[in-house]
Amino acid sequence: MGQLTRGSAAKKPLDVVPSHNADIILPKQAGKVPLASQAVIVIGSSTGGTEALRTLLTALPVSMPPILITQHMPEMFTHSFATRLNTLCKLTVKEAEDNERLQNGTVYIAPGHSHLLVKPAPTIGYAIGLHAGPPVNRHRPSVDVLFRSAANLVGKNCIGVILTGMGRDGASGMLELKQAGAWNIAQDEASCVVFGMPKEAIAMGGAHEVLALESIATRLSVLATQKQQQAGGSA
């Protein structure tokens, strides 16, 4: 009996988490015009991202459009991470809440239990969407989900940024952003802790610019001003 148990245990297959793409959360809606005249910035990061985000966000002025961030992080840490950044930044930084309207000068951090999305506000403009669906690229929250939602709704009024991280989450979504008319920045290899996610995004052709981390804030400020002017100001 003991031999049977030992033999069957040895042959038991490993549980492999399926690697879904963003289709399992929301469909790609290519070719749509922006839903509202509001600029939005979306950022994805993973390994090394907490310090990269601190460097980036503390260098940004308060006059920025809404910034949505998916950082791969367990849910017990996302609230405290947002609270810490809020004490360091000129911008207001908070953990994202479902259905709250996007406001200029505010950074929304994805909670660790849900995908973060841009969705239509009840009247006009954009709001936060949280989706507790399956992991995408084995992550929840997933950068690809955030980027796809922004490509679908914000399009040419969006700026995408992909920072240090392991794997490929965000690469497909960044290409979708580019195809929708957004302008995209990838962090360069020299300033990354792990040059995984940016490398994949660059290889897929989704990045317009590859910049050192220390240069991204200044460039992002200029691009945000341009996007806000092109979009006709804030909603």
Which of the following is catalytic: 114, 169, 188, 191? Answer: 169
Catalytic residue among 45, 46, 149, 191: 46
For the four alpha carbons of 77, 174, 26 and 31, in that order, the dihedral sign comes to positive
Radius of gyration of the CA atoms of the chain, in A: 18
Annotated active-site residue 46? The verdict is yes
* Residue 98 annotated to the active site: no
Strands 126-131 and 115-120: antiparallel
CA nearest neighbour of 234 among 139, 146, 151, 157: 157
Could you say which of 72, 115, 131, 139 is catalytic?
Answer: 72
CA angle 78, 189, 169 (to 5 degrees): 45
Choose among 163, 209, 159, 170: nearest CA to 34.
Answer: 159
Three-state DSSP class for 132? coil
Catalytic residue status for 113: no
Q: Cα separation of 104 and 224, whole Å?
A: 11
Is residue 206 within 8 A of residue 177, CB to CB? The reply is: yes
Where is 42: in which H helix or E strand?
A: strand 40-45
Question: Torsion over CA of 202, 180, 119 and 60, rounded to 10 degrees?
Answer: 50
Tokens coding 36: 């509202």
Q: Just list the catalytic residues.
A: 46, 72, 169
